[in-house]
């Protein structure tokens, strides 16, 4: 009897992050541990994991595999990079605000790192059971993170709702996996594809399974009508958590979604792509229309993230390598611009506040010009205006869909972009053209004196009576917003730096 060989290098990024998660818990247990040390360990581990992923992706030859369970191919590793981006920004954002709402800073970072382990494994998984395990690892961590603000009942409510509905969706997913196993006698993605190549023996069982899998993934990426948790959970969770999960969970779920459907189920593509196309169209439309009327930023961004899940799904509908690459590009762009937007919200938040009203942005360009400029970049990018990352994300996704013959879906997508411009640009209008109601005289005076060149950390919020002023912008938050803005601009100016790399990476899943 021989023991199976385990090439654990495949999981190198995950192992690094996992080690760091445990290390954070141990260090937190020692008395006198500083918050900066915990954040530092997390940051270093995440960056090391990102470097490991890039190093692995540069290895020549066939991608390494861990038995038939996981693979370290370009596709998985690039998604690791996307997740690392979101996580790094999430850690930076957490540095200021999490200590304000909780004593257990260590467990926050540990949970976040555990979620990252699950997310990275989603993209690498070659087996339905591994996908499910990864899904549960990341979900359980996120349920707790969503309820991390224990003094705020809405945070607890968000956590509970997320948990209940998530459990429901996980059950659907597991059932779907079981049915697919029933139809193909295999859980391995490539074996499933091989089994289906000669036609399915029991198509009804197979399709039932696919439908259930769509529900499971649809829940995680928030496709309509499986989205209803989002507008409650996003505002309820602490803002750094929302920022992190909005980008990273989406990336992880789409990674597994793409690999599962394109590697294992290409024979059923004509069927599932139509179902997904309709879901994508409904998702884009409903997300954008609902966002129009939101007066609060986090809730608005929650609906906006639903709409963006729809845009990304368009790339999956295309079902080609071009489409898969476009989704990857889109999610990387989204990680920068969306986490950045939430970062600005986090910077504006006052202690004990549930959500930030849009009116609070009035006059921000005078008070904190750098913050306002960054927010404007994120809003332009989310709308899809060049030369920002979001424009090329949409361009590639829509281009792939057109090339694959999904013209009508792209028309709906473009109309939706127009609708979305209304509420994104409203934010910009508010920041630059609206006079702040209560603070008008102060802001005007400040504007007259110093419309100086933007300084990253200009803490000049006019104090208001009766309300707690937002804490001055911390270095960590400023760094996160700055990094996100730089990323958004750089990807928009130099998209071709990534496209070649991505096009090569996605070949592995076909």
Partner 1 sequence: MLDYAWLIFVPPLAALLVNAFFGRRLGKPAAGYLGAVAVGLSFLVALGIFFGLLGLPAEERSHTVTLWSWIHIGNFRPDFALLLDPLSSLMALVVTGVGFLIHVYSVEYMKLDDEHHQLDARRYARYFVFLNFFIVAMLILVLANNLVLLYLGWEGVGLASYLLIGFWFHKPSAADAGKKAFLVNRVGDFGMAVAIMLIFAAVGAQAGSLAFTDLYRVIQQSAPLLAGVASTVTLLLLLAATGKSAQIPLWVWLPDAMEGPTPVSALIHAATMVTAGVYMTVRMSPLFELAGNTLTWVAWVGALTALMAATIALTKTDLKRILAYSTISQLGYMFLGVGVGGYVAAMFHLTTHAFFKALLFLAAGSVMHALHGELDINKMGGLRAKLPTTYRTFLIGAAALAGFPLLSGFFSKDAILVATFEHHAYLLYAIGLVTALLTAVYSFKMVFVPFWGQPRDRKLFDHAHESPALMTLPLWVLAALSVVGGLVNLPFVATLEHWLEKLVALGPVGKPEHPALAVELALLAVSALVALGGIWLAYRAYVQQPDLAVRIRERIKPLHTLAANGYYFDWAYNKLVEGLWAFSRFLAGAVDQQSIDAAVNGLARAFGWLGSRTSRLETGLVSLYALSLFVGLVVVLGYFLATAIIGR
The helix (run of H) or strand (run of E) holding residue 55 is helix 35-57
Residues 486, 377: contact at Cβ < 8 Å? no
Question: Nearest 5°: CA angle at 407, between 405 and 412?
Answer: 145
Decide: is 164 part of the binding site for partner 1 (CB under 8 A): yes
3-state helix, strand and coil shares in percent for the chain, rounded to the nearest 5: 75, 0, 20
Q: How far apart, in whole angstroms, are the C-alpha atoms of residue 225 and residue 213?
A: 14
Question: In the bound complex, what is the minimum distance in angstroms from residue 420's beta carbon to partner 1?
Answer: 11
269: β partners: none
Q: Which stretch binds partner 1 (CB under 8 A): 24-32, 103-111, 157-165, 479-487?
A: 157-165
Closer to partner 1 by CB, 67 or 200: give it: 200
Q: Per rule CB under 8 A, is residue 424 in the interface with partner 1? A: no
Asked if residue 229 binds partner 1 (CB under 8 A), the reply is yes
How far apart, in whole angstroms, are the C-alpha atoms of residue 95 and residue 79? 24
- CA torsion through residues 280, 284, 290, 291, sign: positive
Least distance from C-beta 496 to partner 1, angstroms?
4
Instruction: Please report whether residue 261 would count as binding partner 1 according to CB under 8 A.
Output: no
Using the rule CB under 8 A, is 152 a contact of partner 1? no
Residues 83-112 that bind partner 1 (CB under 8 A): none
Return the number of the residue (68 or 289) whose C-beta is nearest partner 1: 289
Stretch that binds partner 1, among 58-66, 105-113, 140-148, 273-281 (CB under 8 A): 273-281
Enter the tokens of residue 473: 């912008």
Residue from 79, 109, 132, 207 binding partner 1 (CB under 8 A): 207
Neighbours of 373 (CB within 10 A): 15
- Rounded to a whole number of angstroms, the minimum distance from the CB of residue 11 to partner 1 is 32
Q: Is 309 a binder of partner 1 (CB under 8 A)? A: no
Judged by CB under 8 A, the stretch of 72-80, 160-168, 239-247, 371-379 that binds partner 1 is 160-168
Residues 6+ apart with CB under 8 A from 506: 74, 75, 321, 324, 325, 328
Here the tokens at position 255 are 């990674």
| 425 forms part of the interface with partner 1 (CB under 8 A) | no
Which alpha helices (H) appear in 185-238, and where do they start and end?
A: 189-197, 203-221, 230-236
Say whether residue 210 binds partner 1 (CB under 8 A): yes
Question: Residue 293 Cβ, how far from partner 1 at the closest point, in Å?
Answer: 4
Contacting residue, 20, 161, 261, 394, with partner 1 by CB under 8 A? 161
441 near partner 1, judged by CB under 8 A: no
Our finding on whether 472 is near partner 1 (CB under 8 A) is: no
Record the tokens describing residue 16, joined without a space. 């690094």
Beta carbon nearer to partner 1, 26 or 167: 167
> Which residues fall within 8 angstroms of residue 45, CB to CB, at 6 or more apart?
16, 17, 19, 20, 21, 23, 113
Residue 441 burial (10 A CB sphere; 0-12, 13-18, 19+): exposed
Secondary structure (3-state) at 70: strand
Where along the sequence are the contacts to partner 1 (CB under 8 A)? 157, 160-161, 164-165, 168-169, 172, 203-204, 206-208, 210-212, 214-215, 218-219, 224-226, 228-229, 231-232, 271, 274-275, 279, 286, 289-294, 303, 395-396, 399, 419, 422, 452-453, 494-497, 499-500
């Amino acid at each position: 009897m021989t023991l199976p060989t385990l090439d654990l290098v495949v999981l190198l990024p995950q192992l690094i992050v996992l080690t760091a998660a445990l290390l954070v818990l141990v260090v937190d247990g020692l008395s006198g541990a500083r918050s900066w040390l915990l954040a530092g360990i997390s940051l270093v581990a995440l960056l090391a994991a990102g470097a490991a992923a890039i190093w692995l992706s540069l290895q020549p030859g066939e991608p390494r595999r861990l038995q038939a369970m996981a693979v370290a191919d370009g596709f998985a590793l690039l998604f690791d990079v996307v997740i690392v981006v979101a996580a790094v920004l999430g850690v930076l954002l957490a540095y200021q605000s999490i200590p304000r709402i909780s004593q257990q800073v260590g467990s926050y970072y540990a949970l976040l790192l555990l979620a990252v382990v699950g997310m990275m494994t989603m993209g690498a998984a070659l087996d339905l059971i591994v996908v499910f395990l990864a899904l549960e690892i990341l979900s359980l961590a996120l349920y707790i993170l969503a309820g991390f603000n224990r003094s705020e009942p809405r945070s607890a409510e968000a956590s509970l709702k997320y948990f209940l509905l998530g459990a429901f969706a996980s059950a659907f997913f597991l059932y779907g996996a079981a049915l697919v196993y029933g139809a193909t006698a295999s859980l391995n993605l490539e074996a499933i594809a091989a089994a289906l190549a000669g036609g399915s023996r029991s198509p009804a069982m197979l399709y039932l399974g696919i439908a259930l899998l769509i529900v499971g993934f649809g829940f995680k990426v928030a496709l309509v009508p499986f989205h209803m948790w989002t507008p409650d959970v996003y505002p309820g969770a602490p803002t750094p958590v929302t920022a992190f999960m909005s980008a990273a969970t989406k990336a992880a779920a789409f990674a597994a979604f793409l690999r599962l459907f394109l590697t294992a189920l290409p024979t059923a593509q004509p069927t599932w792509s139509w179902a997904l196309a309709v879901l994508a169209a409904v998702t884009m439309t409903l997300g954008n229309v609902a966002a129009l009327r939101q007066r609060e930023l986090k809730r608005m961004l929650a609906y906006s993230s639903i709409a963006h899940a729809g845009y990304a799904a368009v790339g999956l509908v295309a079902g080609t390598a071009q489409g898969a690459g476009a989704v990857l590009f889109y999610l990387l762009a989204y990680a920068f611009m969306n986490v950045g937007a939430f970062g600005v919200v986090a910077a504006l938040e006052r202690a004990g506040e549930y959500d930030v009203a849009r009116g609070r942005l009035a006059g921000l360009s005078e008070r904190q010009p750098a913050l306002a400029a960054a927010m404007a970049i994120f809003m332009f990018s989310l709308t899809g205006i060049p030369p920002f990352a979001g424009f090329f994300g949409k361009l590639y996704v829509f281009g792939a869909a057109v090339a694959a013959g999904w013209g009508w879906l792209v028309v709906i997508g473009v109309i939706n972009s127009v609708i979305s411009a209304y509420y994104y640009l409203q934010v910009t209008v508010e920041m630059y053209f609206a006079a702040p109601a209560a603070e008008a005289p102060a802001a005007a005076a400040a504007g007259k004196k110093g419309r100086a060149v933007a300084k990253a950390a200009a803490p000049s919020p006019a104090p208001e009576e009766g309300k707690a002023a937002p804490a001055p912008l911390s270095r960590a938050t400023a760094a996160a917003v700055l990094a996100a803005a730089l990323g958004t601009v750089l990807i928009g100016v130099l998209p071709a730096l990534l496209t070649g790399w991505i096009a090569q990476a996605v070949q592995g899943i076909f």
